[in-house]
A and B are shown apart, each in its own frame.
Chain A
Amino acid sequence: MAKEEKNKFRVQYGEAVGTVAAQSLGEPGTQMILRSFHYAGVESTISTSGLPRIVELVDAKKKPTTPITYIYLDKGIAKSFDKADEMVRKISEVTMNSVVRRVDENFAKGKIRLILSSQEVEAARITTKGVASKISKDFGFETKADGRTIEISVGTRDPKKVRAERVRIMNSIISGIEGAGKVMIRQDEQTKEFYLIASGSDIESIIDIPGVDSTRIITNDVFAVYRLFGVEAARNVIADELAKTLNEQKIGVNRRHLALIADAMTARGNIKGVGRHGLSGEKGSVLARAAYEETVKHLVHAAVYGEIDHMNGVTENVLVGKQVPVGTGTVKLAIKKEDLSKIGKKK
């Protein structure tokens, strides 16, 4: 493209890109709808979508409501369903809670009886015996397996302790990786390659499992990515997730706006939300913070700690009636009016 042509498409100096980005995400907010009836096919995974997901992302929530991890397998085994299935068994998190249909406590005898759900047991491809031996191994209790029933002698009759053991057992993991969630196999339509989708986001543990392609693992959990891959990767996840969520709703927002929001959230080397506990709450200007939320708190703090407002931002200048320092407000005259007369005299 010709150079002048390219210059025509350039951003202009002073452009209030932050405001434009905020408008670009804020304006279509009202258009977002719960379009669950618009999906053509069955969504294979639960995922928060629409406005709640956007809010979650810009708030920098520590854990997504519905974490999802895409696990790709090493090239060598990716085409084999059996290998992929084996990986599922290795990774997929099966908790006692998910397979047990009913729990009975017998305080008098100090026993806990679990009745497993046939459906879940089959789905997780475990056996009653296996579960029983796992309990024996992990907790050291005597167990008896019969059909779908497991009887555990917890070795105490103190109701409090029996109840505590019950909670411990129910929260324990039978197989897989804690935090990996349920795992399912998917096949890529084009490459015919098998990959896994997990409803958890513990990529720190998953990535080390042999067979997992560590270069292609991806999750929607911003903080998990931040911990494992660092802030720049997290920045990309924020922007990607925003783009994905908007895309689902067929709302077009240019990538640059989303990238700016992600950059703003990560510019300090960690992840900050946009609310009063994040970017807005950490502004340098006392007046800007006071005008936003928690007015008195900021004024009191400013008084005790002797804060100075340097009037560099938009809000504080609006408050005192000065020109705002963005857009055409960034430009000033190089020569003062008074000095102009001096120049004339010299000549």
Chain B
Amino acid sequence: MKTEAISHIKFGVMNPEYIKALGVVKLTVPDTYNEDGYPIDGGLLDQRLGVIDPGLICKTCGARAKSCPGHFGRIELVRPAIHSEFGKTLYMILQSTCRNCNRLLLDDESLAKYRGEKPIDPDAIVAEGEEGAAEVKSAMLKRLKDIKKCERCGTQKKKLKFSLPTYFYVEDYKLKPNEIRDMVSKISNDDLEILGIDAENSRPEWLIIDILLVPPVNVRPSITLESGERSEDELTHKLVDIMRINQRLEQNLNAGAPQIIIDDLWELLQYHVTTYFNNETSNIPPARHRSGRALKTLTQRLKGKEGRFRYNLSGKRVNYSARTVISVDPNVDIDEVGVPFAIASKLTVPFYVTEWNIEHAKKMLMSKDYPAVLNVISRDGKRKRVIDTNKEEILKELSPGDMMERQLVDGDIVLFNRQPSLHRMSIMAHRTKVLPGKTFRINLCVAAPYNADFDGDEMNLHVPQTLEARAEAKVLMMAHNQVFSPRDGNVVIGTEQDGITGAYEMTAEDAYVTKEEAAYLLAVSGIYELPEEAKNGKYLARDVFSMLLPRDLSFEFKTKSGKAKIKNGRLIDGRIDNNSIGRGNNALFMKIRNDYGFEELKKFIYSSSKMLDAYVTLMGFTLGVREYVNDDRLVKDRERMLAETFEKVKKLISDYKEGKLESLIGYTQKSSLERMIIAELNLVRDRAGADVLKTKTEKNTAMDMVSSGARGNILNVVQMMMFLGQQATITGGRINRGYATRRALPHIEPGDLSPKGRGFVTTSFYGGLDPIDLFMHAVGSRGSEIYKALLTARSGYLYRRLSNALQDYYVDVDYSVRDAANNLIETQYGGDLVDPMYTKVKNIE
């Protein structure tokens, strides 16, 4: 079959002739199956509409279930019905045209103007370009709506009332669909085109339905329940309703029933047609299922998150993919992924047989070892599963141009993904490494860009199936090419926690290791030579670390606590911490990337993280309660600081009560007081932090983690050693509710504005919270939990809107930014053509 890419799609309204031609069967029986369980001819499951049951043959195309695409049928309505979605369009047309001369209500001069043959008065032009055209059009429509008398023939316009979805009244007379059709069918194409309507393809009279197109059974398959009972699709039910009423209407018409009965039935037919198209039409009660649930009709099938567009068309399902739980493996490189054998033996990679590799291909096909060939697809597209019994036969037929699907092996390029895929580092390419076990294995360092942890997270793996896709994955998407975030140029793949502690300890000025230890550390990271000996057969730990650095690297950089200096690949000054080995603004990584490239950087990250982890394991690193014991000095400091602050707050409150408090701009006195108190209470927490930093000078692993940036910050330490500080509500205010008297607990005086009464927790985790503090802490935690839930929903929608609005923008050959319609968005990307991924480099910001 010849295939062609879709170049464009034109939309229009189906005309009755077309529907008649497309609808191969005229459906007459409002039922589905007869007593024998056989589809009724002329019924809604007529076999000429296509077949879905295996074994049956379609009576229209003669094909079997899987290959028959289905065929449309038609219902010929005895009285027409208006297509409910087009009510507004019809109203607009009727409003704009004269019932007497059937032209637009405008005189020739205006017509010429709106047709663009004559210039439009400047007043009508609001802005240039498209915007202007839209403005002109809406101005024209408004004018047409307001015209009382036809400018052409002078006929007075009768007041037309429209009520959604399909009701039209002229002076209390309800227009019948056929009357509306008569009106609009007299309007010329030329006039309609001035209204913007594509009259050639969308005549307004086609919006009134005489022949209803019935979708093929493939669109509304019936399902067989366990009991053997058949259950029809909701759409089929709706169509049965339409046909029933249609039949009844016909019988009544033939019997010459009174007009009232006819009109009622006609109305009912209109109702069913309306709900068939859209069961959520406003002003119309939805058609219901037997259970009372509203039916899902055509519109409901298309719209929304679970609709055809977003669920089935925008979201594709794929083969050649796998999903399982992830776990850590420090021996897996950052651009590798450990794939369980069970998965690797099912997933396949295409192998194209050519005249140059056919011998190899044959050998692989016949091999009893891993990797095996699972399928062979011959050049004419026939797919054969390779099993022991047909191997010989396939081997004989194998020729250049065939494709074989072989099992996944070490080193294959795959895409690895964790949802939600919030940024491009959520899908990265990795090299496979087939491993025993049942989980995907990744290096700890790449967990961060995926935002993954190992408490049961699952991830997806995809195998690119064309050479082009594989090449793109390898060049553009490899994990080590994604070390830097395009968001701000910061490092997102770096050493974590223990590794940073290790680096901090290891690069201390006085850290020495024995020869054995040095050899071990180096061997772990794949280095088999020793640095210079420092003294007494001992080695400086930072010299051992320096062995990881490129030999000719010399530069100075800022660290978290100060400065560091590397000369000829040797760290001679400063300590390595989070700012030079971890995530964030990491000067060392950037230097290595710029001078040696991504490949070298990858090696450095991998080998350093291994060595550093080995170092912490070797030396030991313990965190215990003793780290948080607050000595007498801290206890005294705490009391003093809190007393000082409370005194200040007291002063603020008394000032406020005496009306002496000067309010802040835009705030009332009361909220000014709140702001000032909150500021004061925050200040004390920061001061406590500074105090802890100053006091805790002796060896303290908790403080070491804080100062190296491995984990935790000074605030955490303050909360453990000193006090928790102010607990906030969702709105950011202090806690003041629960009782009618605006207090959180009965233990608090009504109107108490003091810190303690409004959720300032003065006790610490180490000392234990007192009952009131515990309660306040719980209030704060609950609030933040709720807030988080609200925020994710809000930010998710913001993200959807943003990505939808911006997704077509790309950098053109001239480095301008263009959208899908080739509109110019930026003349030069970012003004300087710099990729944001590289913006943390010196000299570029």
A residues adjacent to B (C-beta < 8 A):
1, 5, 8-30, 32-34, 36-46, 51, 54-55, 58, 66, 119, 123, 181-184, 197, 199, 252-257, 259-261, 263-264, 267-270, 274-275, 278-280, 283-288, 290-292, 295-296, 299-300, 302-315, 318-322, 325-328, 330
Contact = CB atoms under 8 A, between A and B. Distances in A.
Nearest to A266: B825
B740 interface: no
Contact of B664 (A44, A55, A302): A44
Interface in B813-845: 813, 815, 817, 819-826, 829-831, 833-836, 838-839, 841, 843-844
A199 B666 contact: yes
Given A306-B12, A309-B9, A318-B313, 6 more contacts: A13-B811, A256-B829, A260-B830, A302-B11, A306-B202, A325-B810
Contact of B682 (A38, A260, A306): A38
A259 B10 contact: no
B197 interface: yes
Interface string B794-821: 1110110111111111111101010111
B820 A327 contact: no
A21 B799 CA distance: 10
B86 A54 contact: no
Contacts of A263: 817, 825-826
A296 B299 contact: yes
Given A10-B833, A23-B487, A55-B794, A18 B787 contact: no
Interface string B72-99: 0000000000000110010000000000
Interface string B538-581: 00000000000000000000000000000000000000000000
A15 B679 contact: no
Contact of B829 (A17, A261, A270, A288): A17
A58 B809 contact: no
A296 B302 contact: yes
Given A45-B666, A313-B807, A55 B676 contact: no
B128 to A, nearest CB: 8
Contacts of A38: 682
Contact of A22 (B299, B310, B806, B836): B806
Interface in B199-237: 200-202
A32 B791 contact: yes
B136 to A, nearest CB: 15
A292 B804 CA distance: 7
Closest 8 pairs between A and B when the two form their complex, measured CB to CB: A306-B198, A18-B809, A29-B795, A26-B799, A18-B806, A36-B732, A256-B830, A313-B820
A24 B484 CA distance: 13
Nearest to A122: B659
Contact of A34 (B129, B675, B728, B844): B728
Interface string B402-420: 0000000000000000000
A313 to B, nearest CB: 4
Interface string B653-677: 0000001000111110100000110
B806 A264 contact: yes
Interface in B470-492: 472, 476, 486-490
A295 B8 contact: no
A268 B303 CA distance: 29
B798 A58 contact: yes
Interface in B698-744: 725-726, 728, 730-732
B9 A311 contact: yes
Contacts of B294: none
A257 to B, nearest CB: 6
A25 B791 CA distance: 14
B422 interface: yes
Contacts of A267: 823-825
A26 B196 CA distance: 38
Interface string B121-155: 00000011101000000000000000000000000
B678 interface: yes
A253 B487 contact: yes
B11 A254 contact: no
19 contacts: A10-B833, A15-B835, A20-B486, A27-B799, A28-B487, A37-B726, A40-B679, A42-B675, A51-B798, A66-B666, A264-B805, A264-B806, A268-B131, A308-B9, A309-B10, A309-B11, A310-B7, A315-B804, A315-B807
A30 B487 contact: no
B309 interface: yes
Given A11-B811, A300-B86, A184 B665 contact: yes
A28 B130 CA distance: 35
A45 B841 CA distance: 36
A11 B813 CA distance: 11
B202 A312 contact: no
B768 interface: no
A9 B484 CA distance: 12
B805 A55 contact: no
A259 B834 CA distance: 13
Q: Which of A58, A256, A286, A312 has the most CB of B within 10 A?
A: A256
Given A23-B424, A278-B805, A10 B488 contact: no
B655 to A, nearest CB: 12
B803 A26 contact: yes
A181 B665 CA distance: 10
Contacts of A34: 728, 730-732, 787
Contacts of B197: 304-306
Given A37-B726, A254-B836, A284-B820, A22 B10 contact: no
Nearest to B202: A304
B307 A295 contact: yes
A13 B815 contact: yes
Contacts of B278: 296
A58 B802 contact: yes
Q: Which of B307, B489, B676, B829 has the most CB of A within 10 A?
A: B829
Contacts of B200: 306
Contacts of B53: none
B289 interface: no
A157 B13 CA distance: 64
Nearest to B422: A27
Nearest to B829: A11
A30 B796 CA distance: 8
Contacts of A330: 810
Contacts of B665: 44-46, 182-184, 197, 199
A66 B665 CA distance: 12
B5 interface: yes
A304 B13 contact: yes
Contacts of A256: 829-831, 834, 836, 839
A106 to B, nearest CB: 29
Contact of B309 (A14, A269, A295, A314): A295
Contacts of A269: 127-128, 131
B686 interface: yes
A302 to B, nearest CB: 4
Nearest to A313: B820
A259 B728 contact: no
A271 B123 CA distance: 21
B423 interface: yes
Contacts of A309: 8-11
B835 A261 contact: no
B282 interface: no
Interface in B432-488: 472, 476, 486-488
A322 to B, nearest CB: 6
Contacts of A304: 13, 86, 89, 197-198, 202
B842 to A, nearest CB: 10
A17 B826 CA distance: 11
Contacts of B794: 29, 51, 55
Given A11-B834, A44-B664, A260-B830, A295 B679 contact: no
Contacts of A51: 791, 794-795, 798
Given A9-B835, A17-B809, A279-B805, A319 B423 contact: no
A43 B675 contact: yes
A347 B299 CA distance: 60
